[in-house]
Every structure is written in C-alpha cells, then in structure tokens.
Amino acid sequence: MMLKYPLISFVVTSYNYEKFIVKTLESILAQTYKNYEIVVVDDYSSDDSVAKVEEFISLHQDVRITLVKHSSNMGQLAAMMSGLKTARGQFISFIDSDDLLVEEYAAAHLRVHLSTSVAFTSAQIIEIDENDEIHTINSISSPHRTSCLEPKTLDELLKVDVEHIDYDILKRSRFGGWYWSPNSAIMYRKSAIEIVLKYKHPEKWKICPDKFLCNFANLVGGSAIIYVPLVAYRRHGQNAGGSDYIVGNHKYNSDKTTCVNVANNIKIRPETLKFLIENRSDFVAKFGTRGYIKMILSVLF
C-alpha cells in the first residue's frame, strides 16, 4: 500500500509589495517539503508587483504557480478567499507578501497536523526589518511555553529539529481573543475553513483578517501552538498590524494599530454570529444541529 503525503497550498496575498514579494516566493521554493503549490492573489496593486510575479513564474515553470488578479482593491480577506477558492491542497497557509518562510516551515507544520486533528497550527515568528536583518528569534508577538529561554549558539538559533517539534494543543480559549502568531505563521486544514467562502462581507476584514479566520477555525476545530519560529515577520513602514521594531520585552502598538485592534474586537462576535445565522443550513449540513448550536453558544458566551 502506497500512502501519499498531502499537498500544501501557499496562498500569497499581494498588494503593493514589489520590493519584497520575490523574496517571499523564493522562501517558498526553498522548502524542504516539496509537495506544494503556490497561488498568488494580487489585490489590484498599483506598483510593479504583478510584473515581478509574472517574471518569477516564467523563470520557474517547473513549479505549480497560479496568479489570480483582482480587478479592484477588495482587501486581504477577499484576497484570501480568492486563494482558498483556487487552492487544491488539503492544507493551506496564507502568506503575506513581505514575509519569509524558514526552510522547514511546511515540514514542521505538516508533522504537527498529521500528529493531531486540529483545524490549524500556529508557529512562533522571527522578527526582521526591511533589509532582512534579524531583530529577535523569540518575538513577544508569539505565544511562549516559558519565559525562561535556553541560550543557544548563533548557528543553533535558526535550526529546526523537525523530528522533535515542540507543540501543544490550545486547551483554553475564549472566542474573540488572540492566542496565536500573525497570519503567515499559520497553516489551516482546508476542510475546516472552506465554508468561509459563504461569508458575504469580506470588506469588513480588509485589514488583519487573521483575527476573524483564526477565531472561526478555532471555533470549528481547535488549534495547536508550535513553539518553534518558522516564519520571519517583516516590520516596516507599511505594516497593517504594526510597523514598530522591538524596543524591549513589552508589546507596544501604535495608535493606528490600536484602533484596528479595537475595531476588530468590537465586530468579531456580531460578524461571526451573523455569518452563522445567515448560513444556518450550510453549517447544520456540515457540522450537525448539535455542533451548530455549540458554535452559537461559544460565540455568545
């Protein structure tokens, strides 16, 4: 009997990041796990992002790469939904087009997924600047098992032991909270989130849609935290979720980021309830009446 390892879809959402997107795509090509496809969704960029992607595709015709182009700027959740609709993989990672993946990103995520049945996995992040320089390996924007970190040599810091991944299933979470790392650090089971294609209001989540998608996926099937940095999160002047570099062991947000976070916290429950109620028959068909009621109660309480 020959079993097959699953296909992973890397959905790269792109908007005016011509400076970074090729490096992002190159970091996907460098993955040690090779059964993947790439779907780039350009959200009507006004710079040369599309030309950069098309050139990249022409230079790598041996790789399965699909380019989807929006005819207007629809926001990041809409771009993610376009990618989800196009993706063929059993597992999906939505990658911001300014981030970089560690070579073992796919292998490490997949190892945890195949060892569990969670809806998604979330790894820790490395923080870098616009020149690729590392600011920290252990970001305070990621969950940690302990505050006492074991000192490592510089060579060891970026090594990932895929055979002995440190992870834990998230046991306690309240709907609407945040327990994970930023968007690019996450890998979803497609079966857990494909019903999101029924959501009719993606414009509500033009910025930081991972707040909505992570809470929804966790509601559906739980999540696991991988205590290993697998993605380099790039901070620069255009970050939607926060552009400031680390200045210490406290997390600071700009006023703009705080406003986005507050707005998302206010709308997460009513938007999810509206989604569940508007699509009741679809949720009952997929999860059963008991599962549907449990979701409603979890969002409410």
Tell me the pLDDT tens digit for each residue of 134-192. 999 989 999 988 766 677 787 788 889 999 999 999 998 999 999 999 999 999 999 99
With vertex at residue 23, the alpha carbon angle to CA 180 and CA 189, rounded to the nearest 5 degrees, is 35
Using CA atoms, how far apart are residues 215 and 211, in angstroms rounded to an integer?
6
Using CA atoms, how far apart are residues 41 and 15, in angstroms rounded to an integer?
9
Using CA atoms, how far apart are residues 264 and 209, in angstroms rounded to an integer?
9
Using CA atoms, how far apart are residues 267 and 280, in angstroms rounded to an integer?
20
Q: What length is written for the chain? A: 301
The pTM assigned to this predicted structure is: 0.96
Does pLDDT of 241 surpass 70?
A: no
% residues pLDDT > 70 (the chain) = 96
* Beta-sheet strands, E only, within 107-222: 120-128, 134-136, 167-169, 186-189
Average pLDDT, the chain: 94
Confidence grade of residue 26 (pLDDT, cut at 50, 70, 90): very high
In this structure, the strands spanning 100-101 and 223-234 are: antiparallel
| Helix (H) or strand (E) run with residue 229 in it | strand 223-234
Q: Which residue has the tokens 């992040």?
A: 125
Confidence grade of residue 243 (pLDDT, cut at 50, 70, 90): low
